Amino acid sequence: MPKGRPKKEDTQMISALQDLTAVVRELKEKVENLGVVQATSGLAIAQSTSEPSVQPLPEFVSSTPVPVEYREIVDNVLNRNFGIQIEPFKDSPQFMFTIVVPEKYSNMNEAQKSIQKVDLRTRVISYAEGSNGIRDWSQRVFENLNPQLQSLVVADKVIP
C-alpha cells in the first residue's frame, strides 16, 4: 500500500464514485417505492366489478406537492381522470412535469403497453414558464390523442 497523500486523480475518482453511489441508492429507493405503490393501488378491485369504470391511476411518489393551479389547468384542458406528477431538478430552475394518461384514453399500441405499462407524457418546464408551460403541455397531450379519444376526454369532463 503506498504511503503519503493520495493523488489528485485518486481523490477525484473517489468523489465521483461516492456521487454515483448516492444516485444509484436514490434510484433504487424510487423503484422500490414504485413497486409498493403499484402493488397496493387496488387495480384488481376495479377489474373485478361487473360495471365498466375508469381504472384508478397508479399513484407516483412525488417529492413536491402539485400546486392547485397546475391541477386546475390539467382538469380544464384534459379532465380530472388524468394524473400529474412534478419532480424539481436540484441544480436548475426547472421541473419535470408528467401527465399520467389513463388507459381509457391512451393511444399506445400493444408493443408500447408491454414495455411501458403506463402512458406517461413528460416534459421539462422552467419555473419561468410556470402555468403557461403546464397549459401548453396539457394542450399538446390533448392534441396528440386521436379525434375519438379527444371527444371521449371532453365528454368525461365534470361540469360544475
For the stretch 45-61, pLDDT in tens is 344 444 444 444 455 55
Which of 142, 105, 136, 106 lies closest to 123, judged by CA?
136
Kindly state the average pLDDT of the residues 85-110: 91
22-51 residue pLDDT tens: 877 888 787 777 766 555 554 443 444 444
Tally of CA atoms within 13 A in the half-sphere of 110 that contains its CB: 0
Which pLDDT belongs to residue 37? 59
pLDDT score of 91 more than 60: yes
Q: Could you state, in order of their start, the residue ranges of all structural domains in the chain?
A: 8-40, 54-155
Q: What percent of the chain has pLDDT over 90?
A: 38
The mean of the pLDDT values for the chain is 79
pTM above 0.85, yes or no: no
Rounded CA-CA distance 127/93 in Å is 6
